[in-house]
Structure formats: structure tokens, C-alpha cells
Amino acid sequence: DADVTQTPRNRITKTGKRIMLECSQTKGHDRMYWYRQDPGLGLRLIYYSFDVKDINKGEISDGYSVSRQAQAKFSLSLESAIPNQTALYFCATSDPLGGVANEQYFGPGTRLTVT
Amino acid sequence: RKEVEQDPGPFNVPEGATVAFNCTYSNSASQSFFWYRQDCRKEPKLLMSVYSSGNEDGRFTAQLNRASQYISLLIRDSKLSDSATYLCVTRSGGSYIPTFGRGTSLIVHP
């Protein structure tokens, strides 16, 4: 079984709808991240969390919110989706004391299309 | 200017060729460096860390030049399966947040 899972894997939604992307991990890591990837722009950090009570904005948090329900779960919400939020979204985890400190372990991604 | 710059490519090479990618970074406080590999429509995965003295992992060699603020990745004897996007990643001291480059696309053809 995958260590980092994301649901849904693909989603098409309409402008103005609220949508939640979910991420779960079995790696036991405290640190979790949400990124979006757009062609030509690379990976950009949306939010990150270093433990259940810690939530931090990344470089492009506007239009997004997150919830860290448990150590293993980190959800990303788009309160009112807009077309320029169409992208590939990745969840990731890391362990500061891992073999490669802070190596990022990514989920398989969620492809979101906002029409 | 983006903090981590990479030539997007694509680099189109025949099997067996040697290919090298460079990546430049602007944050002089960067202390940790990595190469990640991303296959089409898949998640990125760590390929290798980059150490100050340079390091090798099979056909892959990574080098760091702190004075010029660039890192490189050399792939020898390219395989078809090396076709992917290679992401350069840095992290500054005291920060646990990595900075990703936009990636360099490699296509290895028969």
C-alpha cells in the first residue's frame, strides 16, 4: 500500500463550488505539505504543517485553506473554486530526522479541473 | 527571478549518451541540495542528495559549486528509462521548506 494517499485522484468541478482534497499518510511523519504544479511553473507550496497544531501559509495560499485533522491527515480546501486553480495538486510528508533529512515523500497527486 | 533556475529542455539524447544538467540558485544561505526525478503525470521522487564533495550513485553523478551557486547532475550511459523531468531542489539552513526548480526534461531515444 502507498505510504501517502490522495483522494480524489481526478476531479472536475465548476466555478464557485467548494471542493476538498484529502491526504493521508502511514509514514508517521509530523510534517505535511500541499503543493500545486502547473506546466512551466514547477511545484509551488500552498500550505504546510509541522504538527497537528501548526499550520503555515506557503507562497500561494490565497484562495485555499487547510485542516490538519490528525497527524496522518491533512486536507486542502478550495472554498470557491476558480478556473486558474486548475492544476495538479500534490501532498507530501517529511521527517527532519530521516535518512535524508526532510526528504519529501509525495502522494500520487490529484488532477483538478475547474470549468 | 526564480530562486532556483533550470533549463527546461527538453534534452533529447540517444541511448548510451552522457548528458548533464545544471541548476543555479540565488539564495546564498542554501545549505542542502537535491535532485528529484518526476515521471510524466507522476509524483516527484528523490533521486539523490548533493554533497559538497560531489557524489556518485551508479550512472548518476552530482556536483555542487558553492562559489558559483550551481549544482549539476551527470547521467552516463543513458537508458530509455531515464526519460523524465529532473527537479533541482535547495533548502536554506534553518528552513525545513524546500525550494523546487521548474525541472529539466530529458528524453532518451533508441
What's the alpha-carbon Rg for chain B, to the nearest Å?
Answer: 13
How many percent of chain B have pLDDT more than 90?
A: 80
Cα separation of B26 and A115, whole Å?
A: 37
pLDDT at position B88 over 90? yes
Residue A61 makes CB contacts below 8 A (sequence gap 6+) with: A46, A47
The 10s digit of each residue's pLDDT in B4-56 is 999 999 999 999 999 999 999 998 888 889 999 999 989 999 999 998 888 99
Contact B15, B107 (CB under 8 A): no
Return residues 53-82 of B near A (CB < 8 Å).
none
Binary contact (A90, B43; C-beta < 8 A): yes
Cα separation of B69 and B26, whole Å?
A: 7
The 10s digit of each residue's pLDDT in A35-79 is 999 988 889 999 999 999 999 999 999 999 999 999 999 999 999
Best probe of the B interface among A102, A105, A111, by most B CBs < 10 A, is A102
